[in-house]
């Protein structure tokens, strides 16, 4: 373990200057573009903002959701950004300018998660489903990929095409985690747990699925068999990074960022980032982690040095 690393404040704060955080209210989602050059953030202020990773410069602000934005994802070619909202909308944005490509009513009052796959994008919602739409868009209804036992609180997609949905558990007959292989078009046995599952992420090789649970734990499931449980106060989000070494990263409500081995069995590092963390996302190629807090702050943490660059409007 490299030890506890303090949160590095933005230069304006060090000089006593007033700063405008990334969002006017809690940050709900962060997502690096696959080419690694920009990062998108979203929040309870109903907007999506896009920033340069290198210098933290604000590039553009996307407005279109009428309620808070819940989730973000980029297409693999970096050309499209998809956002999901508490208004039941999915909006597709051009990945390089301010143009809105399409607005879609998702058939639910609340979109809880989005992801981009191979020739299609996905959304989880409070209609108990994870659904997919083709991209480029075509006429017709979306396809139901997973039917949850209750609201779909979130979803995850692996690079190999495995889709997972997360949700609440109200009785012993329900399951909070379901997953399916979209490429092979085959279902995997549901994971029967007795606690609500909220957020999740697959490891880059698709072997492990890490899931944040409402009982202050994170469960890591190995597709080759077995699972590991990590106890941590109110885990809000999970992600994987590949540098400085492959790690599972957990952000919790106490402002801690915890780095574990991909299987969750070994604690490797720890950072303290001030404020209650709400969302995290690992950079595709560099030792960087984007994060958001309940105070509207978003930043990029260097996992090697512990320095954090706060994104400012």
Mean pLDDT of 92-107: 94
Q: What is the pLDDT of residues 19-43, one digit of tens each?
A: 689 999 999 999 999 999 999 999 9
What pLDDT, on the 0 to 100 scale, is given for residue 19? 66
Question: Three-state SS string across 180-220, please?
Answer: EECCCCEEEEEECCCCCEEEEEECCCCCEEEEEECCCEEEE
pLDDT at position 174 over 90? no
Q: What is the pLDDT of residues 125-158, one digit of tens each?
A: 999 999 999 999 998 889 999 999 999 999 999 9
Among the listed residues 112, 116, 153, the one whose alpha carbon sits nearest the alpha carbon of residue 132: 116
pLDDT at position 259 over 50? yes
Q: Is the distance from CB of 296 to CB of 23 less than 8 angstroms?
A: yes
Average of per-residue pLDDT values in the chain: 90
Backbone angles phi, psi at 245, to 5 degrees: -155, 155
Q: How far apart are CA 304 and CA 287, in angstroms?
A: 7
CATH number assigned to the domain with residue range 1-21+195-313, chosen from the 4 options 1.10.1040.10, 2.130.10.10, 2.40.270.10, 2.40.50.140: 2.130.10.10
What pLDDT, on the 0 to 100 scale, is given for residue 66? 98
Q: What is the pLDDT of residues 41-90, one digit of tens each?
A: 999 999 999 999 999 999 999 999 999 999 999 999 999 999 999 999 99
Please indicate, yes or no, whether the overall pTM of this predicted structure exceeds 0.85: yes
Domain limits, the chain: 1-21+195-313
């Amino acid at each position: 373990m490299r030890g506890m690393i303090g949160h590095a404040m933005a230069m304006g704060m060090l000089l006593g200057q007033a700063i405008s955080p990334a969002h006017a209210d809690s940050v709900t989602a962060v997502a690096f573009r696959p080419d690694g050059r920009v990062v998108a953030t979203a929040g309870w202020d109903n907007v999506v903002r896009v920033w340069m990773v290198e210098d933290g410069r604000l590039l553009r602000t996307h407005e279109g959701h009428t309620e808070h934005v819940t989730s973000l994802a980029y297409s693999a070619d970096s050309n499209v950004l998809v956002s999901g909202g508490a208004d039941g909308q999915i909006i597709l944005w051009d990945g390089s300018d301010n143009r809105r490509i399409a607005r879609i009513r998702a058939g639910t009052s609340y979109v809880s998660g989005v992801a981009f796959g191979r020739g299609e994008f996905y959304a989880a919602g409070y209609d108990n489903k994870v659904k997919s739409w083709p991209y480029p868009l075509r006429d017709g209804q979306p396809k139901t990929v997973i039917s949850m036992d209750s609201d779909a609180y979130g979803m995850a997609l692996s690079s190999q095409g495995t889709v997972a949905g997360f949700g609440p558990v109200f009785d012993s007959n329900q399951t909070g985690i379901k997953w399916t292989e979209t490429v092979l078009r085959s279902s995997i046995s549901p994971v029967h747990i007795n606690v609500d599952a909220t957020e999740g992420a697959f490891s880059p090789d698709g072997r492990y699925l890490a899931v944040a649970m409402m009982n202050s734990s994170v469960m890591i499931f190995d597709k080759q068999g077995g699972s590991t449980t990590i106890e941590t106060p109110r885990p809000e989000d999970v992600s994987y990074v590949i540098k400085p070494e492959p790690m599972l990263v957990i952000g919790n409500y106490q402002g801690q960022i915890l780095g574990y081995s991909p299987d969750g069995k070994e604690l490797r590092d720890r950072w303290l980032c001030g404020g209650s963390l709400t969302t995290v996302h690992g950079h595709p190629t560099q030792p960087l982690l984007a994060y958001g807090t309940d105070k509207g702050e978003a930043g990029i943490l260097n996992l090697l040095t512990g320095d954090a660059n706060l994104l400012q409007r």
